[in-house]
């Protein structure tokens, strides 16, 4: 594949600041998310940087891997905070023994990525139904962070395999759920029989912030079960029981403990884990992208760049609707900084929008299976071609 050609729909001279010669060294901010299943955000940033340097070795590159709360959140945030890696024995979503990584910052802040405990990718091909899975292991990690002396905890909850509304998490923190005849319920699908909820004698002392990448409520047509449940294995015939269980959980918490929040934006994140952390751990729900942007000094770094390059595995309608990579593009537009999107695949809605200054996809270079298996090599080449294609002013 030769150099790119840019017609009216591609890059134009307005892409560049007036008077830039082709040989000038530019400041480039490289801020990709993960290419799910192929590259971490760090690996994607490195591949883009290698390709760019091949074409323009004198440019100044600022590498900033990003995450808005899903897989890779722990590595990204720990890098920004200079946190050290730790590990703890816990259980995965299916209650299998697991040694889980978490991170410790000198500010006595714990960083936890729930996908490393109850992540969907950890159970791929294992045949578990969501009724068999819960968030108990995450509660054990929170208690471990508290025991280590954490005053604050930042938790990224994307990529979850669970749909329990935080029921398992709560049980690990000491909450008890009782049915008829004071029988303790130990499976979240039993919550339709819930009569009483008892709070723990020692509530969690660590202040928690939850990073979410969606704004769904807990219940209803836009709730966690109907929107995200199918990708975790919920079937249409499971929806009635699932909704009944989570509705009863929310009602009992409101009636017995004056704990609401089921309608709050982000309550439905990670199968209701956003809601669960709010009510059972007193957590504050926050946009994962906003958290990343604050810790990364994103506005300052975009303002210092002549060009921003971002990307992810698939730039599609979710990108346009506000996921992290789309937010990067919007921040660039406010600053008047060109933003290039490099992705595994680029959906038609993104191509037709004015969100990015220019987009390219790995699937332009190779069929999808090869683009996925050789993602780093393809992304490096795509970046190099993009760098070589800058028009002279």
- Cα gap 346→318, rounded to integer Å: 11
Burial class of residue 256 (count of CB atoms within 10 Å of its CB; 0-12, 13-18, 19+): middle
Residues 6+ apart with CB under 8 A from 100: 87, 88, 89, 90, 116, 117, 137, 141
- Cα gap 150→148, rounded to integer Å: 6
pLDDT one-digit tens code per residue, 106-160? 999 999 999 999 999 999 888 999 999 999 999 999 999 999 999 999 999 999 9
Nearest Cα residue to 310 out of 243, 263, 378, 357? 357
- Cα gap 328→346, rounded to integer Å: 16
Burial class of residue 349 (count of CB atoms within 10 Å of its CB; 0-12, 13-18, 19+): middle
Q: In the chain, what are the domains?
A: 13-64+308-388 (3.40.50.10350), 73-290 (3.90.1510.10)
**Whether 271 contacts 162, CB under 8 Å:** yes
- Given this model, what pLDDT does residue 24 score? 78
| Bridge partners for 310 per DSSP | 341
pLDDT one-digit tens code per residue, 109-123? 999 999 999 999 999
**Whether 133 contacts 123, CB under 8 Å:** yes
Please provide the DSSP assignment of 263-322 as one string. TSTTTTHHHHHHHHHHHHH-PEEEEHHHHHHHHHTHHHHHHT-SEEEEEEEEESHHHHTT
The pLDDT mean for the chain works out to 91
The string over 368-383, giving b where at least 16 C-beta atoms fall within 10 Å of a residue's C-beta and e elsewhere, is: eeebbebbbbbbbbbb
Nearest Cα residue to 113 out of 67, 170, 44, 152? 67
DSSP H/E element including 91: strand 84-91
**Whether 164 contacts 241, CB under 8 Å:** no
- Given this model, what pLDDT does residue 366 score? 85
Find the DSSP H helices in the chain: 41-55, 73-81, 115-118, 136-147, 167-173, 224-232, 239-257, 269-281, 288-296, 298-303, 317-320, 324-335, 348-352, 368-373, 375-388
Could you identify the residue written with the tokens 């929170």?
Answer: 142
Residues 6+ apart with CB under 8 A from 83: 77, 103, 104, 105, 106, 109, 111
**Whether 362 contacts 371, CB under 8 Å:** yes
- Given this model, what pLDDT does residue 389 score? 84
Please, what's the largest Cα pairwise distance for the chain?
A: 80
Nearest Cα residue to 323 out of 264, 269, 263, 267? 269
Which residues of the chain are modeled with pLDDT < 50? 1-21, 391-393
- Given this model, what pLDDT does residue 390 score? 62
């Amino acid at each position: 594949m030769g150099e790119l050609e840019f017609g009216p729909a591609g890059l134009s001279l307005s892409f560049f600041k007036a008077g830039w010669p082709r040989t000038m060294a530019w400041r480039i901010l490289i801020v990709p998310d993960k290419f799910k299943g192929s590259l971490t955000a760090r690996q994607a940033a490195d591949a883009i940087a290698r390709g760019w340097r091949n074409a323009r070795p004198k440019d100044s590159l600022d590498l900033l891997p990003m995450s808005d709360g899903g897989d890779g959140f722990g590595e990204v945030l720990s890098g920004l905070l200079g946190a050290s890696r730790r590990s703890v024995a816990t259980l995965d979503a299916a209650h299998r023994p697991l040694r889980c990584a978490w991170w410790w910052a000198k500010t006595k802040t714990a960083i936890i990525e729930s996908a490393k405990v109850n992540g969907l990718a950890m159970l791929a091909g294992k045949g578990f139904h969501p009724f068999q899975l819960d968030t108990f292991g995450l509660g054990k990690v929170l208690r471990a962070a508290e025991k280590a002396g954490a005053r604050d905890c930042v938790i990224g909850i994307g990529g979850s395999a669970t749909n329990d509304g935080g029921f398992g998490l709560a049980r690990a923190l000491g909450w008890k759920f009782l049915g008829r005849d004071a029988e303790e319920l130990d499976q979240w699908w039993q919550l339709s029989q819930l009569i009483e909820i008892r709070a723990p004698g020692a509530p969690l002392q660590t202040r928690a912030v939850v990073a979410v990448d969606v704004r769904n409520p807990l219940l209803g047509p836009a709730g966690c079960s109907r929107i995200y449940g199918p990708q975790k294995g919920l079937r249409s015939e499971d929806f009635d029981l699932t909704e009944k269980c989570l509705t009863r959980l929310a009602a009992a918490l409101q009636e017995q403990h004056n704990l609401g929040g089921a309608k709050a934006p982000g309550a439905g994140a990670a199968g209701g884990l956003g809601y669960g952390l709010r009510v059972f751990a007193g957590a504050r729900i926050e946009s994962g992208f906003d958290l990343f942007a604050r810790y990364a000094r994103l506005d300052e770094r975009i303002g210092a760049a002549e060009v921003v390059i971002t990307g992810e595995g698939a730039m599609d309608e979710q990108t346009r609707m506000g996921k992290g990579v789309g937010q990067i593009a919007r921040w660039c537009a406010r600053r008047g900084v060109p933003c290039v999107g490099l992705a595994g695949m680029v959906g038609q809605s993104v191509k037709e929008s004015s969100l990015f200054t220019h987009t390219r996809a790995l699937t332009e270079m190779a069929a999808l299976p090869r683009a996925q298996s050789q993602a780093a090599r393809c992304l490096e080449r795509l970046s190099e071609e993009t760098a070589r294609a800058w028009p002279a002013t």
